[in-house]
Structures are given as structure tokens and as C-alpha cells.
Amino acid sequence: MPPARPKKEEIEMTTTLITKEQIMDALKPIQDPELSIGIVDLGLIYDAKFDESTKKIIVEMTLTSPGCPVGPQLMAAVHTKAAGIPGVSDAEVKLVWTPKWDPKIMASEEAKDQLGIF
């Protein structure tokens, strides 16, 4: 008897490529609790990619300052949201300090308005 063919849903799941845009969209609702602005809009997410071979998302992010008291909370939220994307096996959140976060350069126009940066 020939081996069973995979179900259509299994085929689609194995060929789905998750884009950076999809990852960023999933992270958009996470807000910095001190600033009440989304971390994506603040420019705190430096990179996000999907490793198709492991089905793992890798996010590089920074914080508003090295002593940010909510850093662990934000990183946990990023991990939870990224790992919860359908088709993802796990997520890794890497904290980076280079380049140094600068809201004048990295924040979205909306975030700059909220921060009073003109």
C-alpha cells in the first residue's frame, strides 16, 4: 500500500512563508506601558524574520534605555505574539543595543507626534 498523501492543510502549512510585514503586524498591538505607544511605531523592533527550515521567528529589538524597567515584560510580550502566529514553532527575541535607539530617526511619524518630536 502506498504511503498516505498529506492533507491539503498540511501542504499549505509547510509551504507558507511568513513575511516581516506579517510579523510586524502581529507585534503592532504591543505598547510601551510607560509611553503608551506601540513598540513597532516607536522603532524598537529592528528586525524580524522567519526561518522556514525551523519554523521559528527571530526578532531583534531594543529598549528605550538600557535600564528600562519594563524590558523583560516587553520581550515576553514580543515572544508570545511572535510564537502565536499560525505556522510558527517558536520565537526568539534578541535584545540589541546597536544602533542606539533614537526616536527622532526610528519612530514613525505618528509616534513622533505623540512624543512631541517635530
pTM over 0.85: no
| 31 within 8 A of 37, measured Cβ to Cβ | yes
pLDDT for the residue 3: 54
Domain spanning 9-100: CATH 3.40.640.10: no
* E strands, 1-118, in order: 31-32, 37-38, 45-51, 56-61, 90-95
Task: Give the pLDDT confidence score for residue 8 in this predicted structure.
Answer: 46
Helix axes 20-27, 71-83, angle to 10 degrees: 130
Domain ranges of the chain: 9-100
